[in-house]
Structure 1
Amino acid sequence: MSATAQAGPVPAPQAQAAQQRATLIALANGQSVQLAKALTLGGQEQLVAKDAVVDADGARHLRYERTLGGLPVLGGDLIVHQRADGSVTSVDKAVEGQLSLPSLTPALSADKATAQAAGAVAATVGVAADKDEQPLKEVGRAGSAKLVVWAASGSPRLAYQTVVEGLRADGTPSRQTLVTDAASGEVLATHEDIQTASGTGKGVFVGSVPLTTTLSGSTYQLKDATRGGQYTTDLKHKTSGTGTLYTDADNAWGDGTVSNGQSAAVDAQYGVAATWDYYKNTFGRNGIKNNGVGAYSRVHYGNNYVNAFWDDSCFCMTYGDGASNTHPLTALDVAGHEMSHGVTAATAGLNYSGESGGLNEATSDIFGTMVEWYANLPSDVPDYLIGEKININGNGTPLRYMDKPSKDGGSADYWSSTVGNKDVHYSSGVANHFFYLLSEGSGAKTINGVSYNSPTSNGSTLTGIGRTKAAAIWYRALTVYMTSTTNYKAARTATLKAATDLYGASSTEYNAVAAAWSGVNVS
């Protein structure tokens, strides 16, 4: 397999895009005091701008985090929607009402809170929360506890946020963020920051593809200056560090075989590029964080490591080589899925538990699938199957199905009052099913040689609006309306707002969104 240096699609100048974003954030921060008063927030509350979206007609969507007495409020985020003249049309809040606490002085010291958080994680060593999660093998460093206000559960509580590092049984690094009560030490929430997609692969997936590389002296680097400087490194079976940047003398990378270490690097580099291009050319998003900075990839992680993961702290993708170090997990939808976790973190920040966690996972499935359709590779024909190339089950079946999620044996086809109790990889089935129904409709059909048969909870017959429109609605809902605590009911509202913005309140698309949600029992 060979790849040549090509210019590829030329993005908008990065410096200009960064300046535009900085201007929007400054605009949002400039209005924070005025908006806090208009929203009748409490006297100790302030707003800090996180992101801003401006529509073609000048309408603004300003995303803020809240602080209380200078402390960050977890679950206090909100989005202010304005007309072009700055007048407010509506506000979406993760939590309603004013926030106040009788005291901002913790009963527990930060050192005590850190020790208790580390102890809570240590108590889970050897225990897997579900059949798909590797148990924690060891606990490492615990960062200093940070005083915060926890509001995601409703009434605000003074709390500590602590990050505890560790290692899982299969070699996956663990970075758990715990929120604990500042008076009792009770664990209020815990979240694994390392997002994984487990499976086994068989060889190189992308086939022969073009790559944009960098010539340094007489040597080519697997580094793409046209897409935020993204690059790929070789970890050489280590489990830490940034790895060694791939270089080559003739700019022809890999040969499609597992024995040639560059072949997995080609998959990884192409996966990042395809994800960048999808978001850039479809939504005008300039990189995962919309700041023009490209993610990097690490291949050949560990030994016999049957996994791949996105880590927001290093802003990087990491791939293991699978069983016997001969099955790299570098499939395209794995790359698109994992890096879309970064997009979610930079926008709605959906909490990775309960229904919001299912929506977080589904968002990655949706956009990982869309990256696959965007690339349209002959070696990886697009479909509505998740992880079909990595053969995680050993029998050729995919990891997840979007047309009828329950075919994987654990995912939910429809919403119920208990769906939030499922592991997020299974509660995601409701949104995945919604997306398929919205895109393709219900019933039996064959698409790109794959047979689907998608039912509805209410027996209705649905007609799809196409995946392009469905993805546009989901992206706008994610970036403009969803907050950290969005659940399925709120996701319905967010996508209906998005459909109204894009296509009109009485449009076919709006009605299709409503019908698709009803088809998965969200009404």
Structure 2
Amino acid sequence: MSRKNALAAAVAAALTLGTVTVLATQSTAAASSTARPGAGFKAVSADVRAEALRTADREAAAVAKSLGFGADERLVAKDVLLDTDGARHVRYDRTYRGLPVIGGDLVVHYDSNGKATGSDQAHPGAIKVAGTTPKLSASDASAAAVRHAKHVKNAKAGASDGSTLVVYAVGKVPLLAYRATVTGDGEAGAASREAVILDAASGAPLDQYELHQGVTGTGNGVTAGQVSIETTQTGSGYTLTDASHGGTVVYDSYNSSQSNPKQNARAFTKSTNSWGTGTTSSRESAAVDASYGLAKTWDFYKNTFNRSGIRNDGRGAPAYVHVDTGLLNAFYDDSCFCMSFGDGSSQNGNTPVTALDVAGHEMSHGVTAATANLNYSGESGGLNEATSDIFGTMVEFYADNANDPGDYFIGEKLNMSAGSLRRMDNPASDGSSLGCWTSGAGSVDVHYSSGIGNHFFYLAAEGTGAKTIGGRAHNGTTCNNDTFTGIGRDKAAAVWYRALTTYMTSTTNYASARTATLNAASDLYGANSQERYLISKAWAAVSVGTALPDPGNGTPTPTPTSSPTGSPSPSPSGSPSPSGNALTNGGFEQGTAGWTQSADDITSSTLQPAHGGSWYAAMMGYGTNATESLSQSNIAVPSSGSPKLTFWLKVSTQESGYTAYDTLKVNVNGTTLATYSNANASAGYVQKTVDLSAYKGRSVKLEFAGTEDTYLTTIFLVDDVAIG
């Protein structure tokens, strides 16, 4: 069927449903039909998703108990994702005595047989606070929030938001806190909003972040060119209501304030079905761009990842154009489940903020809020912004619009003096963004620390070297002078989406994001795939971790695996202890036999993976000052050859960077022979070897000694220990 006839058929079919595919003032090239890799998820109807959520809620109490949570804690199912192989991933929010817990979210993974295979927790373990009666009143908290606000000037307490009691569990020691909202002059204009988290006892600030998660800049008004948009026919005409994309409605805000964009809002209506003039003289032109961009973003998520809208429930979010006056911003606000687009200012010729990658960026903030809900501060805030840049860019490639071809420049159609807002291939080119991770990344504005994630994604997708993409020159340089090829942007996007929705939590930092993407690559392409190896290379190239050993299998292979946790699969034999093992029960398959432990470390819990068999030792993970030991005495070290200790170690941590805050030491007869730490974080088990030649023919005591500091957790998993 010709493209013209196909369009006519589509219009006829749409009319029977009360919607019409119309041509605005310009026309786009057809979207690319190139197959894109999925993320292992299958499409589900709203009814199936609702029943899955009800099932998750019924399971919540048992899940909380199995994870060791306290009697005051409750889990509330937020989302359920189903893999094509039957695996299930349930995301929960947590409450404590009825109060919401910031940093209490988690994801529990189940295999196709319904067996729990692991979990990812923003705050591992139980939460406990001294009490839920604050020393500070709500009004005093609001006043303190005004004093401590740092993202807005001339701050004042929010008129309607007030101060709400919460439990703040982002650090190792949970605290009773207030979440307050202030408004003032900021990056988003005179009505900028900022959240301030305060200690409910002292009023000391614990965290602050902007509530408008948007791109600072402006659109070009008619950047999309001539495009088809979906409208709805009424008795007397048409409205900008897109029934094909969850009933998304684009409203004219008529310069309502950012805090209440619907205050003066009116629906766009007219008797004819032709919208906009391609210039800012028509208020419809910005609406055409917004409608087109949001529809393309919806289609990208639906056709690439089987995701139906922001919350995966088939419901579209309202969008408002012409918000405020002189607003150089666009943003998503989860509190109203809506998106707002400003008209720009004299700084950029008063051009609206409605470009395609802006729409993709803002709608992706909603997807992040509905999934990992990455905190909008510190390194997790940088990841939040990077996620929107990544998927806003992917929407541009997906749309395949000749007027706005895909590239890795953010906001290149926004009429900015610098030519764009950000560059993913070279983030530092703007003089502010970070292209390489540093220990101070968490204290940098999230729009600038996002450069680390953007740079990683570009290198993972495109590799190193100079190339032209979308008619623009790109150059993939690295922080370690490495050179390598990429896995392709579609595969890189699949890895990032699965990591975001399946493994990341609200407190994920860059080190944890590396682990999450390695798990995701393992799920999609295999634990020993070239894709997973190149993902590790891309992280090392932005100074996050080191590259994995090259699996030596040449070019990336697209065949995904069905492993839901991303941990390396055990060998068919269950990885038995090597022959001649001088240790008793080195694989822990006989429980505690032969071992002395200071805590209940030896376990067969399915919420963490074993390397071989079903049993393993899980040490530390308290999130506070703690020590532990696991030991075995009277071990006869062989008297010939080159005796050695071998074991498999998996390290999961909330710490960032490569300073050793939490450690696991290997002691033999009281002497430390090896030390591992949070800096050794790994996606799966890694074999370790310790030379025991100095102890030939002697009887020794082997001890694993763990130490954790007062802030953020590290868990050391030990399995298949052998001396021979």
User: What is the TM-score when the length of structure 1 is the normalising length?
Assistant: 0.91
The reply to whether residue 483 of structure 1 matches residue 498 of structure 2 is no
Q: State the distance in 2 between where 1:107 and 1:136 align.
A: 27
Which residue number in structure 2 is paired with residue 335 of structure 1? Answer: 359
Equivalent of 1:69, from 68, 91, 97? 97
Q: Which residue of 2 aligns with 1:12?
A: none
Q: Provide the C-alpha distance between the structure 2 equivalents of 1:111 and 1:139, rounded to a whole number of angstroms.
A: 9
Q: Distance in 2 between matches of 1:177 and 1:149?
A: 15
The 1:313/1:101 distance shift into structure 2, 3 A limit, reads closer
Instruction: Kindly indicate whether the alpha-carbon contact (under 8 Å) linking 1:173 and 1:194 is maintained by their aligned counterparts in 2.
Output: no
Inter-CA distance 149–139: structure 2 relative to 1 (3 Å threshold): closer
Query: What letter matches 1:156 in structure 2?
Result: P
The question of whether the paired residues in 2 share the 8 Å contact of 1:412 and 1:426 is answered with yes
Distance 1:224 1:301, change over 3 A: same
- Partner residue, 2:61: 33
1:42-98 Cα offsets, whole Å, 9 max, x none, are: 232222211111111111111112222232221111111111222111111111232
C-alpha spacing 1:294/1:417, structure 2 compared with 1 (3 Å):
same
Deviation digits for residues 335-391 of structure 1 (CA, Å, limit 9, x no counterpart): 111111111111101111111111000000000001111111111111010011113
Task: Answer whether contact 1:203 1:326 (CA < 8 A) is retained.
Answer: no
Name the CA distance, whole Å, in 2 between partners of 1:430 and 1:34.
39
Residue 228 of structure 1 aligns to which amino acid in structure 2?
G
1:121-155: CA deviation from partner (whole Å, max 9, x where unpaired)? 4xx5xxxx5xxxx7457654153432221110221
Letter aligned with residue 479 of structure 2: S
TM-score (norm 2): 0.67
Point out the more displaced range, 177-186 or 165-174.
165-174
Secondary structure of the residue that 2:493 maps to in structure 1?
A: helix
- Which structure 2 residue ranges, 5 or more long, are not aligned? 1-7, 12-19, 23-29, 32-42, 546-724
Please report the RMSD computed on the Cα atoms of aligned residues, expressed in angstroms: 2.2
Q: How many angstroms does 1:499 deviate by?
A: 0.6
Q: 1:11-32 CA distances to partner (integer Å, 9 max, x unpaired)?
A: xxxx982212211111111111
**After TM superposition, what 4+ stretches of structure 1 lie above 6 angstroms from structure 2?**
none
Q: Does 2:471 match 1:454? A: no
Q: How far off is 1:101 after superposition?
A: 2.1
* Secondary structure at 1:492 match in 2: helix
Q: CA 1:307–1:136 in structure 2 vs 1: closer, same or farther (change >3 Å)?
A: farther
Cross-structure match for 1:60: 88
Q: For residues 442 and 29 of structure 1, what CA distance do their matches in structure 2 show?
A: 46
SS for the counterpart of 1:366 is helix
Structure 1 residues 354 and 328: alpha-carbon distance in aligned structure 2, compared to 1, 3 A threshold: same
Task: Note if contact 1:297-1:316 (Cα within 8 Å) is conserved in structure 2.
Answer: yes
Displacement of 1:170: 6.1
Alignment-derived partner of residue 83 in structure 1:
111
The one of 514, 518, 525 aligned to 1:503: 525
Residue 21 of structure 2 is matched in structure 1 by 6
Task: Provide, for residues 405-455 of structure 1, a one-character-per-residue CA deviation record: whole Å limited to 9, x for no partner.
Answer: 111111111111112221111111111011001100001112232111111
What one-letter code is carried by the residue in structure 1 that aligns with 2:439? S
**Structure 2 equivalent of residue 194 of structure 1:** 212
CA distance in 2: counterparts of 1:170 and 1:356, whole angstroms: 21
| Residue 340 (structure 2) pairs with residue 321 (structure 1) | no
Equivalent position of 2:368 in the other structure:
344
- How far 1:166 sits from its partner (Å)? 4.4
Q: Secondary structure at 2:142's aligned position in 1?
A: helix
AA at the equivalent of 1:502: L
Partners of 2:311 and 2:370 within 8 A in 1: yes
**Structure 1 residues 172 and 285 mapped into 2: Cα distance closer, same or farther (>3 Å)?**
farther
Give distance in 1, aligned partners of 2:158 and 2:124.
37
**Residue pair 2:80, 2:90 contacting (<8 A) in 1 also:** yes
Give the match's secondary structure for 1:190.
strand
Match of 1:419 in 2: 441
Q: 1:370 aligns with which of 394, 403, 406?
A: 394
Identify, as 1 or 2, the structure richer in strand: 2
Residue 273 (structure 2) pairs with residue 251 (structure 1): yes
Residue deviations 1:465-510 (CA, integer Å, cap 9, x gap): 1111100100000001000110011000000110111111011111
* 1:457/1:16 CA distance change after superposition, 3 Å: closer
Amino acid at match of 1:106: P
Q: Distance in 2 between matches of 1:78 and 1:19?
A: 24
Which deviates more, 458-467 or 99-108? 99-108
- Cα distance in 2, alignment partners of residues 247 and 92 from structure 1: 47
What is the percentage of aligned positions where both structures have the same residue? Answer: 53
- 1:212 counterpart SS class: strand
8 Å contact from structure 1 (residues 79, 92) kept in 2 = yes
Number of the residue aligned with 1:115: 143
Aligned positions of 1:252-267 closer than 5 A: 252-267=274-289
User: Partners in 1 of 2:274 and 2:507 — Cα distance?
Assistant: 47
**8 Å contact from structure 1 (residues 136, 169) kept in 2:** no
Q: Distance in 2 between matches of 1:194 and 1:470?
A: 27
2:188 and 2:499 map into 1 onto residues whose CA distance is 36
- The one-letter code sitting in structure 2 at the alignment partner of 1:149 is V
User: Counterpart in 1 of 2:464?
Assistant: 442
